[in-house]
Amino acid sequence: MSYSAEMLETVKYLIGSIGPSGYGSKSTAEQVTECCPDLSSVTAIITGATSGIGAETARVLAKRGARLILPARSLKAAEDAKARIVSEFPDTEIFLMALDLSSLSSVRSFVAEFESLNLPLNLLMSLFVDEVIIEEDDGNGKGHRRPGADSERVVEHSRVEMEANVTVNCVHPGIVRTRLTRDREGFITDLVFFLASKLLKRIPQAAATSCYVATHPRLANVSGKYFADCNEASTSKLGSNSFEAARLWSPPSSWFPDTQKQFLTENNTENVYY
């Protein structure tokens, strides 16, 4: 993207300009889901749903009728998140499950527990988890943390799942102060966020893109794309490099050689995104 194009995108972000989708950086999660179909038949697994953007995403999907699976390392935090949602939407069906993404044994236990419910999996939303170091001897455990890795994974994941009725997309929430940034407090960090406070998104705005991609009918068959401010956006050359994407995808799939695609297809997963 050229410098002038980057400047134009920055100006659009700051003023909340509406894009082709009809939404922009100022749109909220509730606004972008107003026209979505009833979600009462939808089951959504949402990681990172105990606070911040993940919590708002879960709240809005509950408002639209979805059944929620909330995995968390701390079941106490998950209980608190559930209580907040149920206090507002008493009829919401919510399941809490233990999940530590740094432990593959915990991931496998979670999958087994979910499968025991005999529920479809319509949405798998991987939202705002802290940096994960896999607790198994594999030198590639942190490969997904490098710049461009999320969009690379989406490119390859969407290709892998092409024949399995699964769509995979990547979203960027924008700049927002959440628990993840507060955990890195310091004078410089606090000063930057203070000076930029008028430019930051509020959490309902930051959750809008994830909710838009997950629920809007026009995106039902869209896969392998990158979204920001509720509109499709361009990635870097590295982020759309299919060769690098295949290299990045191969270590994780080797950890789950027989179960990963089977889990997605047998549970009728329709939409996965990072």
Reported as a single tens digit per residue, the pLDDT across 156-179 is: 555 554 556 788 888 988 877 655
Q: Kindly report the pTM of this predicted structure.
A: 0.76
12 pLDDT exceeds 80? Answer: no
Which of 82-96, 113-127, 134-148, 194-208 has the least mean pLDDT? Answer: 134-148
Q: Is the pLDDT of residue 63 over 80?
A: yes
pLDDT beyond 80 at 60: yes
What is the model's pLDDT at position 198?
62
Over range 21-42, report the average pLDDT. 93
| Superfamily of the domain at 22-265 | NAD(P)-binding Rossmann-like Domain (3.40.50.720)
pLDDT band at 37 (very low <50, low <70, confident <90, very high): confident
Amino acid letter for position 220: A
Query: Region 3-19: what's the mean pLDDT?
Result: 65
Average pLDDT, the chain: 77
Higher-confidence residue of 174 and 195: namely 174
Cα–Cα distance measured from residue 125 to residue 117, given in angstroms and rounded to the nearest whole number: 19
Give the model's confidence band at 104: pLDDT under 50 very low, under 70 low, under 90 confident, else very high.
confident
Q: Which residue has the higher pLDDT, 176 or 247?
A: 176
Please answer whether residues 124 and 70 qualify as being in contact, where contact means their C-beta atoms are separated by less than 8 angstroms. no
Task: Quote the Cα angle for 50-260-49, to 5°.
Answer: 5
Report phi then psi at 62, rounded to 5: -65, -40
Give the residue carrying structure tokens 């290709």. Answer: 159
CA distances from 227 to 168, 173, 199 (A): 11, 9, 19
Q: Write out pLDDT tens, residues 78-87.
A: 999 999 999 9
Q: Are strands 167-172 and 271-273 parallel, antiparallel or unpaired?
A: parallel
Are residues 116 and 188 in contact, defined by beta-carbon separation less than 8 angstroms? no
Q: Are 64 and 215 in contact (CB under 8 A)?
A: yes
Looking at per-residue pLDDT, the higher value among 96 and 220 belongs to 96
Average pLDDT over residues 9-36: 84
pLDDT of residue 162: 53
Looking at residue 146, its pLDDT comes to 42
Name, in order, each residue with C-beta under 8 angstroms of 216's C-beta and a sequence gap of 6 or more: 21, 32, 33, 35, 36
Query: Which residues, 6 or more positions from 112, have their beta carbon under 8 angstroms from its beta carbon?
Result: none
For residue 178, give the amino acid letter: T
Q: Is the predicted pLDDT of residue 75 greater than 50, yes or no?
A: yes
Buried (b) or exposed (e) across 134-154, using 16+ Cβ within 10 A?
Answer: beeeeeebebbeeebbbbbbb
Where residue 98 falls among pLDDT bands split at 50, 70, 90? very high
Strand 226-228 and strand 271-273: the pairing is unpaired
What does the domain layout of the chain look like in residue ranges?
22-265
